[in-house]
Amino acid sequence: MSRKKIKSALISVYYKDNLEKTVKMLRKQGVTIYSTGGTFDFIKNIAEVHSVESLTGYPSILGGRVKTLHPKVFGGILSRRDNSSDKEDLAKYEIPEIDLVIVDLYPFSETLASDASHEEIIEKIDIGGISLIRAAAKNYRDTLVVSSRSQYAALLELLETKNGFTDLEDRIRYASDAFETTAGYDRDISDYFASLLNREKFTLNISPANRLRYGENPHQKGIFYGKLDEIFTQLNGKEISYNNLLDIDAAFALMGDFTETAYAIIKHNNACGCAADASPLEAWKKALAGDPISAFGGIIITNSPVDINVAVEINKLFFEIILAPGYSNEALNLLKSKKNRIILDVKPSGRQQKQFRSILNGVLVQDTDSISEDIPYLKQVTKKTPSDREINDLLFANKLVKHSKSNTIVLVKDKQLLASGVGQTSRVDALKQAVEKAKNFGFSLSGAVMASDAFFPFPDCVEIASKEGITSVIHPGGSVRDQESVDFCDRAGMSMVITGYRHFKH
């Protein structure tokens, strides 16, 4: 039979929060409850419960390491209700059928993330709980398994809606979640033991799966694995696409390096406009002025709450997405005037420490580029010292160049992106592209600064920059011919600083 009545349940959980309503509902529906340890002590104060020890005839031993590992427990979970031989075994050994298993595992990952000792971490490796989950999930045709406290509310709703019955589809869904839970749990343990040996390994278990309309192109299937609601809340607009997510990720990475009020406009993972200013309105206007053509259909991000004054100006532009840490009611109502416009309220969150991508027949993994240079990183290599304004612009430009596709050159003045050349096979071409773009939008490069994501192998870039009126340069350094660029800057009266950190982005 597809539909099954829950007549008995085994409950063994670490966290008891929000469990009381479920226990009471089970007893109301006449379910016999078995439990052990701290869970038994919790339940006995609110409902009738039988100890696992009374079922097995054995006490909890080895300091609690062995409680439920017994044939009378696992026989009841794994028995096939339509199998005559299984029924005979249950009758012979007086084993009750168990229709529901609720387990919340020892918090291994949480313990690992704390300052716990190795011994404390080891003791948080769940043995009985993980075995109960696997057994119940394997016998999904007859047994429902709840493998996480995050499912308590859904279980309660299921019990209420179906009056204590479950369907095969319910049990398959919960079994799938259970094996996902055990896979992730075992992965974390495996990673920990690998770290004890300084052994590199790559495993990944991210959920849930969010099916997208399509991938990078309409003929490609696209799925995002992860919990976007931990990063932002969508307040308006259509479904977020694969390409939207790539731009959102690029926007988050860039804005994460700014502490002062800033606005940026992202197009194809690169900033086409960016500016910082004490006034959010001025920051927006300057960011848009950097490239009002590319801004069309772009993604806007700011680290400042959006008020009505800024919203009025932003609303004049067609854009797909805006990300901000809050909106005034007036601003939000105005921005919502376009029903498809995606409005995201950004939550405080950290960046992932690792990046990975699939290539060939494997996966590339690297540390996230978390270096964001400040004044102590700068080493002056020219006779001329950059002014305070130039230093501020150099640091601003270096943030932008870090988050632009290589090869890239960025031109900045007064904390405003004037232009950039991105994704070029030649650094000279990147500079020429940036210069031409700046001129097309009416910017004077006199007094501007230049940033490069990598060193200059020849002095050609600083020669071009000098002719255009650029007065200061920042780059990583590291070329065997660095001195040629330094010597030219000295002759031209330019200043140059190096950081020692390259920022390739491919």
pLDDT tens for 81-101 read: 888 998 898 888 888 999 999
Chain centroid, CA 232 distance in Å: 11
Exposure letters 175-212 (e unless 16+ CB within 10 A, then b): bebbbbbbebbeeebeebeeeeeeeeeeeeeeeeeeeb
Q: Are 29 and 163 spatial neighbours (Cβ–Cβ below 8 Å)?
A: yes
Strands, E assignment, 32-77: 32-35, 50-51
Phi, psi dihedral angles at 267 (to 5 degrees): -140, 125
Residue 445 CB-half CA count within 13 A: 26
Q: How far, in whole angstroms, is CA 37 from its chain's centroid?
A: 36
Instruction: Find the helix or strand (DSSP H, E) in which 452 lies.
Output: strand 449-452
Alpha helices in 107-213 (DSSP H): 108-113, 118-123, 128-138, 152-161, 168-196
- Residues of the chain short of pLDDT 70, as ranges, are 1
Say whether 412 sits in a helix, a strand or coil.
Answer: strand
Check: CB of residue 245 under 8 Å from CB of residue 269.
no
Query: What pLDDT, on a 0 to 100 scale, did the predictor assign at position 349?
Result: 83
End-to-end CA distance of the chain: 55
Residue 42: what residue type? F
What pLDDT sits at residue 332?
A: 97
Calpha distance 299→297 (Å, rounded): 7
Residues in contact with 443: Cβ distance below 8 Å, sequence separation at least 6, in sequence order: 413, 418, 419
Catalytic residue chosen out of the listed positions 268, 285, 338, 384: 268
Helix axes 20-28, 152-161, angle to 10 degrees: 20
Burial of 414 (0-12, 13-18, 19+ CB in 10 A): middle
Instruction: Give the model's pLDDT for residue 466.
Output: 97
| Residue 439, pLDDT score | 96
Place of tokens 């805006």: 322
Type of residue at 227: K
Return d(Cα 39, Cα 13) in angstroms, integer: 6
Angle of helix 84-93 versus helix 71-78 axis, rounded to 10: 150
Question: What are the φ/ψ torsions at residue 128 (nearest 5 degrees)?
Answer: -65, -45
**Tokens representing 7?**
């007549």
Q: What share of the chain is helix, strand, coil (3-state, %, to 5)?
A: 40, 20, 40
Q: Which of 44, 138, 162, 336 is flagged as catalytic?
A: 138
Which pTM does this prediction carry?
0.79
Residues with Cβ within 8 Å of 391's Cβ and at least 6 positions away in sequence, in order, are 375, 378, 497
Distance of CA 364 to the CA centre of its chain: 18
Can you give the pLDDT at residue 1?
56
CA atoms within 13 A on the CB side of 259: 5
Q: What is the rounded CA–CA span in Å between residue 385 and residue 391?
A: 9
Per residue in 403-432, pLDDT tens?
Answer: 999 999 999 999 999 999 999 999 999 999
The answer to whether 478 touches 453, Cβ cutoff 8 Å, is no
The CA-atom distances, in angstroms, between 170 and each of 57, 121, 143, 153 are 33, 34, 10, 14
Active site (annotated) includes residue 138 = yes
CA-to-CA distance for 313 and 288, rounded, in angstroms?
10
